[in-house]
Amino acid sequence: MRALVVALTDVIAFGGGVMLGYKLDSDDKATTATAVSGLPPAVEQTRVTLLEAAESGDYEALRPLITDSFEYTFGSPVEGGPIEYWQRLEEETDEVPLESLAAILKMPYVLSRGNYVWPWAYTVETADDLSEHEVELLAPLVPPSGLFPPGSGYFGWRAGFEPDGTWAFFVAGD
């Protein structure tokens, strides 16, 4: 028999909607499932490049992806730019920006205001709106209570990409 290929894409709404997909390949002998991102190829390529750099701890690998319009902090730009800012955060605080970047880029995303944003929790109003599974997904960052200060939305690290794959922002707080 010929191989049967079924593409199944589920859309789950969390504010703007998280897109999750699975490609199921089936033939007479076996069935396997592999993730299908549903992302534009340029966004997926940038995500993978950033994830590899973050997992290796290579700040310099991020430099070619940082444009003049890239946002990395609220307020004025920091002397030395984003890489120096993140390195300073590591030295002076408990923050580990590259570990956070790697963790969020492995989570589901949301399409919000035309940008692809990780994690999907970016559009969640309060920690009370999270399911038990979603709390588990956010566990690599910090407890949800630390990500959702009272009376505000998500304040944790988040990364955004334009549809053409341009890395638009990587910020925390508000």
pLDDT at 173: 83
Do both 27 and 79 map to the same domain? no
Domain count, the chain: 2
Distance CA 157, CA 119 (A): 8
DSSP class per residue in 64-124:
GG--TT-B-SSSSPPTTHHHHHHHHHHHHSS--HHHHHHHHHTS--EEETTEEEESGGGG-
Neighbours of 73 (CB within 10 A): 16
Do both 23 and 96 map to the same domain? no
Residues 6 or more apart whose Cβ sits within 8 Å of residue 174: 74, 152, 155
pTM over 0.85: no
Do both 61 and 117 map to the same domain? yes
Boundaries of domain holding 11: 4-35
Do both 47 and 128 map to the same domain? yes
Do both 19 and 74 map to the same domain? no
pLDDT at 23: 32
Do both 84 and 165 map to the same domain? yes
Do both 22 and 69 map to the same domain? no
Do both 61 and 19 map to the same domain? no
Q: Over the stretch 73-130, which tens digit does the pLDDT of each residue have?
A: 877 788 899 999 999 999 999 999 999 999 999 999 999 999 999 999 999 998 899 9
Do both 71 and 147 map to the same domain? yes
Do both 15 and 58 map to the same domain? no
Do both 71 and 96 map to the same domain? yes
Do both 20 and 48 map to the same domain? no
